[in-house]
Structure 1
Amino acid sequence: MTDFPKDLFDLSTTELLTPISQAVTFRRQLIHYPGFVGAIQAVERCHAMGRHKLEEPDCLLVTGVSGCGKSTLRKTYADRHPRVELEDRTVIPVLHLELPSQPTIKNVAERILMAMEDPFAARGSAESKTARIIKLLAECRVELVILDEFQHFVDRGRGVVDYKIADWLKQIINAARVPFVLMGLPRCERILEANEQLRRRFSARFELKPFSVRTKESAREFKRILSTLNEELPFPDRSVIAGADVVSMMFYATNGLIDYLIKLVSKGIEIAANEERNQIDLNVLARAFSLAIFQQCSDETNPFHPDFIRRVLNHQGEPFHGYA
């Protein structure tokens, strides 16, 4: 059984007294659960190898469903390697950005240039922008590039891959000798299938998975996360979120996704604190679920109601529709 580190939570602000402030403080906490730690370590290895400027730098693909923590991973890692302002340049150890929803090589190149503070990011052709990217990656001493939402390069409606992007990425990686970390939904793997050389560069893969209760071990891990969350709640009495009979309810309410778990508990904090309760109970969780996750839920589709029908809420119009 995996032990969680003592610094499971990183508090970025001091606790305030208002209900909303307490909820916000909770949401700012960083949870170092095993999957997240593994993903950080995978990015660290890619980054460390990249510092050697290998002719063919090792790259990394991080995939996961929405809400599993990819964006938090990107921002957390970048925060650990902040920019440094020198007299003649801005040093950017980790360049990171989110790709536009309707990407082209030209507008992605522009966004990368903007992230490096190029004042002329909007000017020029795709080719000239690409040349400036390669130049600025060197001048800004970039050691790692992280591109989030990479699945946008796969047309969702038809499943069509923009094959040109594979060649474009390969060109930049070859010229700059800077490793890339691509993050996105699982379907972004199709982009790498379009180019054998690029697929070889991204042979390292990491999947951020939701929590599960399918096995005894996975259920124990999920319960341990809930127990740790429970210890950090700002109430005098222990709340019910990690109770043996509540663990499955918490799973159905969040589908095991860290983003939904934090939203649910933080809304519970806000409700309970506003009503001056001593804990978060099932009544609070039921209301928090309807407010933070599924506003149209009925008694049968609210995991914290006695009439709940035990099933994953993935039907049409439900919060986890489209999830496997």
Structure 2
Amino acid sequence: MMPILQHTLFTSVVNRMQLVHKQSSRVKFSLVVTGVSGTGKSTLADWYAEQFPEVDTSEVTIKRVLNVHLTKPSSPVNLVEQIIHAMGTSSTAKRKSLEGLVYQLNCLLKACKTELIILDEVQECLPDSDGIRAQAMAKAFVAIIDKCKVPLVLIGTPALTRILKLEYLADTSGISREEQLSRRFIAPCKLNIFLSHCDSWMKAINYFAEKQRLRKLNRNDAELLDRLYVATYGRIGLVEKLFSFACFDTFSDLNQVFHDAYELSDTTGEANPFNLTDYTYAAIKKKAQNIERIYFTHSKVKYKG
């Protein structure tokens, strides 16, 4: 596993993904993974899929894990179309229906020996309020799970948890009744932000530092680590973004380098955490504590770093 994904923030989610992936029972249960922007959801999805590289044969390309980054599906039909497109083909029907597309998808999944489908940005499927459209989307996910016999990992922002409460009309012995989508899923899991004063935060920073051939940071760099925490809100995606705009050389003043990188990459308009005049170290430590308090109180998460 990539060093950045060895923290329990990620390994616990990977374990759940492996659990639904390796199910041997006839009925396949799926999984919802949520996290605020920048917590590494897409990174995790990409990494998991990369562990099962495609294999080209003379007849077909084997895709054991299909990773799909959704782009605002406008309807259940469009949702399935996007999955089919990720398989490397397009819809063959002139008149498109959900049933027809799910049938085509099932054939493709069988041919490509697909064992797991990861769908990213799934919150884009949900309308602002529950209703007919939300119910239709729920039924589309049920159709994929039931007809294709392939588990799903649905990834998105915390708003995605709504999907587990959506109801759809299930036809049982000719009688329609409402069922919740949650029946097809195991308990959801969540990617959280890092805590500031833990070894895992320092290891996360050093992962990117090593890629830039920088020296490893240690506890003597506590102030810089805290300023990095405030700059990125403890979110791995924002750390990666900050480092991507940083220009290092042998004699770099790291605080100045990150100051300049923050000026280029920040979109919040907040004061630059690497400005030693505007932000005293005491203020930085207080801001880091507030970030943790607000996030973990709001999320109702008990977490030890």
TM-score range, shorter chain: 0.7 to 0.9
* Contact 1:264 1:289 (C-alpha < 8 Å) held by counterparts: yes
Following superposition, the deviation at residue 280 of structure 1 comes to 4.5
* Structure 1 pair 279–238 and aligned structure 2 pair: CA distance change class (3 A): farther
- Is it true that 1:259 corresponds to 2:269 in the alignment? no
- Is it true that 1:200 corresponds to 2:210 in the alignment? no
CA distance in 1, matches of 2:145, 2:188: 17
CA distance in 2, matches of 1:177, 1:102: 22
CA deviation digits over 1:200-242, x for unaligned, max 9? Answer: 22123221111123xxxx544323433454455424x666897
- Is it true that 1:154 corresponds to 2:132 in the alignment? no
- Is it true that 1:182 corresponds to 2:154 in the alignment? yes
CA distance in 2, matches of 1:238, 1:194: 47
The equivalent of 1:212 in structure 2 is 195
Following superposition, the deviation at residue 102 of structure 1 comes to 4.3
Q: Which runs of 5+ in 1 are unaligned?
A: 1-6, 10-29, 315-319
The equivalent of 2:255 in structure 1 is 282
Q: Give the counterpart letter for 2:227 in structure 1.
A: M
Alignment of 1:218-233 (within 5 A): 219-233=198-212
Alignment of 1:110-129 (within 5 A): 110-120=81-91, 123-126=94-97, 127-129=99-101
Q: 163, 170, 187: which one pairs with 1:191?
A: 163
- Is it true that 1:63 corresponds to 2:46 in the alignment? no
The equivalent of 1:317 in structure 2 is none
SS of 2:28 mapped into structure 1: coil
Q: 76, 80, 83: which one pairs with 1:109?
A: 80
- Is it true that 1:303 corresponds to 2:282 in the alignment? no
CA distance in 2, matches of 1:110, 1:197: 24
CA distance in 1, matches of 2:7, 2:261: 23
Q: Give the counterpart letter for 1:110 in structure 2.
A: E
CA distance in 1, matches of 2:216, 2:64: 43
* Structure 1 pair 8–75 and aligned structure 2 pair: CA distance change class (3 A): closer
Q: Report the TM-score, using the length of structure 2 for normalisation.
A: 0.79
* Structure 1 pair 171–159 and aligned structure 2 pair: CA distance change class (3 A): closer
* Contact 1:240 1:246 (C-alpha < 8 Å) held by counterparts: no
Following superposition, the deviation at residue 120 of structure 1 comes to 3.5
Alignment of 1:29-40 (within 5 A): 31-40=5-14
Following superposition, the deviation at residue 279 of structure 1 comes to 3.8
* Contact 2:163 2:181 (C-alpha < 8 Å) held by counterparts: no
Q: Report the TM-score, using the length of structure 1 for normalisation.
A: 0.74
CA distance in 2, matches of 1:247, 1:181: 34
Alignment coverage as a number of residue pairs? 273
CA distance in 2, matches of 1:258, 1:303: 17
Q: Give the counterpart letter for 2:63 in structure 1.
A: I
SS of 1:147 mapped into structure 2: strand
CA distance in 2, matches of 1:136, 1:130: 10
SS of 1:106 mapped into structure 2: helix
Alignment of 1:17-56 (within 5 A): 31-49=5-23, 52=24, 54-56=25-27
CA distance in 1, matches of 2:58, 2:106: 21
The equivalent of 2:111 in structure 1 is 139
Q: Which runs of 5+ in 2 are unaligned?
A: 168-178, 300-305
Following superposition, the deviation at residue 81 of structure 1 comes to 0.8
* Contact 1:153 1:191 (C-alpha < 8 Å) held by counterparts: no
The equivalent of 2:176 in structure 1 is none
* Structure 1 pair 33–293 and aligned structure 2 pair: CA distance change class (3 A): farther
Q: Give the counterpart letter for 2:108 in structure 1.
A: L
CA distance in 1, matches of 2:17, 2:264: 35
Q: Give the counterpart letter for 1:267 in structure 2.
A: F
CA deviation digits over 1:47-84, x for unaligned, max 9? Answer: 111xx3x3321211111111111111111111111222
- The alignment yields a C-alpha RMSD, in angstroms, of 2.9
